C-alpha cells in the first residue's frame, strides 16, 4: 500500500470515529454551513445531529458501519451491508443519504426501528425477553461450573478408611484418582503374583545386585 493510500485510510478511520461518536469535524462542513440543519427531511422526525458530510470515504465508511448493524428484511440472515437484495439496497441507499445529511448511527437506527421494530437490529437490545439471550449463556456456564465443582467435591470426600471401607452408598475411589492424590491415602493396587519361574528369576536378579554391591557376604567381625 502506498503512503498516500495509508494516509487516506488513517484519515478515514479518524473521521469514522468522530462521526460515530456523534460529532463531525468542523472542517468537514461545506462552505457556508455553520452547524447541523434545523429541519428534518420528509419522513424523519428530527433534524440531523451534525452538519452534512462531504468526504466520500467518510460517508462510505459510516454507511457501511451503520448498515452492517441492520438486518436485511428480505434475506433476514444477512446484514443490509452484505445483502444484494433489492430491499437491502434501497435501505443502504437511504442510509447513505442520511449519513450525508449528518445523521449519526443512533438516529438512523432509531428511524429504522420506528418503522420495522427492534427486529431490524442484528444485535437485539438488552431489554424485556431479549435479556434471555444475554443472561442464559452466562447462567449455563455458572451452572456447569457448579456441577463440575460438586462432582469433584464428592470424589474427594469419598475416601476409604483404614480398613478399606467406604461410607454406605458410595464407591471407593480408584487408585491414582484425585482422592488418593489429594489425601495421600494408601490405596495402591498390589502387584500381581509371579509364577515360580518368575520368582526364581527375580531372586537371581536380587542376588546379582547384592553381589555387585558387596552386600552378599555377612559383615566380618572386627
- Per-residue mark of binding to another protein, 53-92 (x: CB under 8 A): --------------------xx-x---------xx--xx-
**Binding-site member from 9, 115, 206, 207 for another protein (CB under 8 A):** 115
Is the Cβ–Cβ distance between 34 and 80 less than 8 Å?
no
Q: Is 200 in the site for another protein (CB under 8 A)?
A: no
The torsion angle over the Cα atoms of residues 95, 96, 101 and 107, rounded to 10 degrees, is 30
Q: Is 171 in the site for another protein (CB under 8 A)?
A: no
List the Cα angle 13/92/29 in 5-degree steps.
50
Q: How far apart are CA 47 and CA 44, in angstroms?
A: 8
H/E stretch holding 209 reads: helix 196-212
Write down the least CB distance from residue 121 to another protein, Å: 12
Write down the least CB distance from residue 131 to another protein, Å: 11
Half-sphere exposure (Cβ direction) of 24: Cα atoms closer than 13 Å = 27
- Per-residue mark of binding to another protein, 124-153 (x: CB under 8 A): -----x--x---x---x--x---x------
Stretch that binds another protein, among 62-70, 116-124, 194-202, 214-222 (CB under 8 A): 116-124
- Per-residue mark of binding to another protein, 28-47 (x: CB under 8 A): --------------xx----
Q: How far apart are CA 140 and CA 133, in angstroms?
A: 12
Grid cell for residue 57: 470515504
Q: How far apart are CA 180 and CA 187, in angstroms?
A: 7
Give residues in contact with another protein (CB under 8 A).
42-43, 73-74, 76, 86-87, 90-91, 93-94, 97, 112, 114-117, 119, 129, 132, 136, 140, 143, 147
Amino acid at each position: 500500500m502506498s503512503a498516500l493510500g495509508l494516509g487516506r485510510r488513517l484519515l478515514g478511520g479518524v473521521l469514522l470515529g468522530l462521526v460515530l461518536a456523534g460529532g463531525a469535524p468542523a472542517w468537514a462542513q461545506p462552505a457556508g454551513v455553520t452547524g447541523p440543519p434545523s429541519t428534518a427531511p420528509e419522513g424523519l422526525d428530527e433534524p440531523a445531529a451534525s452538519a452534512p458530510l462531504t468526504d466520500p470515504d467518510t460517508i462510505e465508511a459510516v454507511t457501511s458501519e451503520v448498515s452492517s448493524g441492520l438486518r436485511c428484511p428480505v434475506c433476514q440472515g444477512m446484514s443490509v451491508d452484505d445483502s444484494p437484495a433489492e430491499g437491502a439496497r434501497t435501505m443502504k441507499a437511504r442510509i447513505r443519504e442520511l449519513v450525508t445529511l449528518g445523521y449519526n448511527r443512533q438516529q438512523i437506527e432509531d428511524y429504522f426501528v420506528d418503522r420495522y421494530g427492534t427486529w431490524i437490529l442484528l444485535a437485539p437490545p438488552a431489554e424485556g425477553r431479549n435479556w434471555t439471550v444475554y443472561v442464559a449463556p452466562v447462567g449455563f456456564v455458572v451452572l456447569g461450573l457448579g456441577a463440575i465443582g460438586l462432582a469433584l467435591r464428592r470424589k474427594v470426600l469419598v475416601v476409604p478408611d483404614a480398613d478399606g471401607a467406604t461410607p454406605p452408598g458410595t464407591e471407593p475411589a480408584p487408585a491414582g484418582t484425585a482422592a488418593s492424590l489429594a489425601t495421600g491415602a494408601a490405596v495402591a493396587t498390589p502387584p500381581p503374583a509371579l509364577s515360580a519361574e518368575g520368582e526364581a528369576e527375580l531372586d537371581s536378579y536380587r542376588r546379582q545386585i547384592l553381589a555387585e554391591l558387596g552386600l552378599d557376604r555377612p559383615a566380618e567381625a572386627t
